[in-house]
Each structure stands twice: as structure tokens, then as C-alpha cells.
Amino acid sequence: MQKLLIATTNEGKIKEINDSYKDLEIELIELRKIVNEDFKVKETGHTFEDNAVIKAKEYAKKSKMITLAEDSGIDIDCLEGKLGIYSARFLKGKTDEEKNQIILNMMKKVPKAKRTARFRVAIAIAAPNKKVEVIEAISEGTISSQAKGDNGFGYDEIFIPKGSRRTYAQFSINEKNKKSFRAAALARARKILKGFMK
């Protein structure tokens, strides 16, 4: 069975990737199981795509395995670039719940029409021979007035995708695996992944 390195230590992302690819005949290897903790890739890119490619290439080279890496985050229009590629590092040291509450407090007086936001994700698949391909997906939506839901991580509990009245964290696991922005990117990445595994 072929192996695929998942280049993240984020438990929520690992679960979504595992759920999306559980039907494939691929052994998914978690990063922490094979890479020394001292080996960290610096995310020096200026876009989600840049950072996903940097991580996929470096970990593929280090592990000598086909590697899937992703970089994602949220853009909140009224906060003018405070998050984006810095989403994971925003308010570093705070829990997801604390970050979400701080954002909601910052937006307390922002009317519904101006609470527009979008999740972005870039997924890069790289081989040790330096071949790399990238998939991107975007989910437009709005920021809720309060945190809701228990089935998510990161900013899921404050993001309402377009066409829904619920936050991503209020979706069931099955719904999220079918409808989320990351699920859309992972679904599109399947064909590419199969090509790498030939």
C-alpha cells in the first residue's frame, strides 16, 4: 500500500483529511510520527498557495514520501488584512474560543451587511522528485454575531457559509465533509493524488 504524508499537526485538519480519503487504498502517515520535532518548515510565502507548496516540497524532500500540505485561513473584510495568511498566528497563544470571542468583540458594532468574510485553502501535493501540484478553494460567507456549534476548529464556530444559516461548527461531521471549503479542495485533489500514486 502506498503512503501519503499529511504535513500538519492540526488534529482538526488531520481528521478532515482522513475522513475524505478513507476509501482510498493509501496509508495516511501523520507528520509527528516521522519528522523530528526540531524540523520545522518556515512559512515564508505571501499567499496560501506559496505556503502550501513550501511545506509540501520540504516535507516530501525530508521524508522521501509523497506529501500533502495545506495552508488555509480566513479573510474578514472589515478587519482589513489582520488575518489572511496570518490566521493561525493571529493572537498566538490564545485558544480558538478566545480568538473567536476577541474577533466578535472587535466586530460588535459592525452591521450584518459588512460582516462579509471568506475561508481560503490551498492544498499542495508534492513528490520527492520535486513534482508539485496545487488546488485552491474559497468559501464565501459572513461572520456570526456569536460563536455557535461544537463540530469544528479554528474559526468554524463564527463563520456562516453563503446559503446557510448555520456556522461550519454547527454542521454534522458528514455535512462538513461534503460541504466545507476544505472538503471541496480535498475532493478536487483526489484525481491529482491518484496520478502521483501511479
Q: CA-CA distances (angstroms) from residue 5 to 29, 90, 104, 152?
A: 5, 27, 36, 23
pLDDT given for residue 74 in this prediction: 96
Q: Point out the residues that are catalytic.
A: 71
Q: Provide the residue range defining the domain that includes 140.
A: 2-196
The domain tally of the chain equals: 1
User: Which of the residues in the chain have pLDDT under 70?
Assistant: 36-38
CATH number where 166 lies:
3.90.950.10
Task: Count the Cβ atoms, other than its own, within 10 Å of residue 118.
Answer: 18
pLDDT given for residue 77 in this prediction: 97
pLDDT given for residue 37 in this prediction: 64
- Quote the cell numbers at residue 9: 499537526
pLDDT given for residue 84 in this prediction: 93
CB hemisphere CA count around 147 (13 angstroms): 18
CB 149 within 8 A of CB 100: no
Dihedral (C-alpha) 161, 166, 168, 172: value to the nearest 10 degrees?
-130
**Model-wide pTM > 0.85:** yes
- Quote the cell numbers at residue 12: 482538526
Task: Count the Cβ atoms, other than its own, within 10 Å of residue 38.
Answer: 5
